Amino acid sequence: MGQGNLDRTGDLFLVLGSQRLSLADYTKEANDRWLKITPQDTWSSTLSRVRIARQEAVEKSLEAIRSSGFPDRGSSFARLLDSCGIEKKADVILAAIQYLRSVEKEGHTQPRELRRLIVETKKWKKKTVKSWNVSLYISRMLQGNPTSGGAPLLEFPRRRPRRNGYVVLTEAGRDHLDRLSLSR
């Protein structure tokens, strides 16, 4: 371990697929700003400097992620919809719920968050998606779908509130999306 490593408690890396981004340069800038504190600084001014340095480090890290070519969630979801031939509103909403549950590991999602993801695909205009009655579609998918033999596509998970924001896909819901991708 070289002398230069003694002042660092650890390195921060972000692994994106096969890419490994070192965030050490960005955190070093925050540490450099922290070291510029003088004895004349008050607690409040010192705290403000640290907060600003930390925010700058986070912003530079996010900039590095963006420049690395890591896909944003909107374009990822759009590619998924396109490659699986999912176009109908109800199917897009079902797919958005599954995407947020399995890719982003969200356990609760308000309809506005589903709309935001759909708008981020840039396949539909914000005004159009805003007019979609997401709650009505969810309620219908909870009741059942004639194309899946009447089986519900969504259900409420156990030990969670019976609210639309918590719904998850049933096996019939996952099968429905699989059938759509196979029939394109």
- pTM of the entire predicted model: 0.65
Q: Which domain holds residue 49?
A: 3-67
Q: Where are the beta strands (DSSP E) in the chain?
A: 13-16, 19-22, 154-155, 168-169
The yes-or-no verdict on residue 88 having pLDDT over 90 is: yes
- The span from the CA of 21 to the CA of 80, in Å, is 25
Residues 105 and 129 in one domain: yes
**Nearest-angstrom CA–CA distance, 167 and 160:** 9
User: What is the per-residue pLDDT for 1?
Assistant: 43
Q: Supply the CATH number for residue 162's domain.
A: 1.10.10
Same domain, yes or no, for 151 and 95?
yes
Q: What is the pLDDT of residue 73?
A: 81
Which amino acid is it at 76? S
163/113 Cα distance (integer angstroms): 15
Are 92 and 167 found together in one domain?
yes
Query: How many structural domains is the chain composed of?
Result: 2
pLDDT in tens, 124-153: 999 999 999 999 999 999 998 665 568 899
